[in-house]
């Protein structure tokens, strides 16, 4: 188990896991309360769920800030360049597939005309 005083990626994962447990408990309580048709309690549980969503955002922002402090500039640049290369490779693949589809459409058009002429 990760100590809570030592902030790490695992610590944020642990926070998210705890938050998910709270969501599951809240959902179970909402379902049970909905069956009892106790609207006051149901509204309070839904308000609690909204607060949990705000906590999710705070955890996410804190994790992003933590990650930004952990990456050196050169490390961040390397990752960015790697992502750009992957995106460019994907774009080239899509363009190649588009060209193949255009060629296939042209061949199909020619074959359709040829069949029309032969019949």
The model carries a pTM of 0.51
Asked if 45 and 29 count as a contact pair (C-beta separation under 8 A), the reply is: yes
Domain residue ranges of the chain, discontinuous segments joined by +? 1-70, 73-119
- In terms of Cβ atoms closer than 10 Å to its own Cβ (0-12, 13-18, 19+), residue 22 is middle
8 confidence band (pLDDT: 50, 70, 90): confident
What pLDDT shows up at residue 1? 42
d(CA 55, CA 16): 10
Which helix (H) or strand (E) element contains residue 10? helix 9-36
Average pLDDT over residues 61-81: 78
71 confidence band (pLDDT: 50, 70, 90): low
d(CA 5, CA 24): 26
């Amino acid at each position: 188990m990760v100590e809570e005083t030592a902030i790490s990626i695992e610590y944020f994962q642990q926070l998210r896991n705890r938050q998910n447990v709270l969501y599951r408990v809240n959902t179970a309580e909402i379902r049970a309360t909905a069956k009892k048709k106790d609207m006051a309690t149901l509204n309070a549980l839904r308000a609690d769920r909204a607060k949990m969503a705000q906590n999710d955002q705070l955890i996410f922002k804190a994790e992003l800030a933590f990650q930004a402090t952990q990456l050196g500039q050169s490390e961040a640049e390397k990752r960015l360049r790697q992502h750009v290369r992957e995106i460019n490779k994907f774009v080239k693949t899509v363009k190649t597939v588009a060209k193949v589809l255009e060629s296939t459409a042209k061949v199909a058009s020619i074959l359709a005309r040829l069949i029309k002429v032969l019949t």
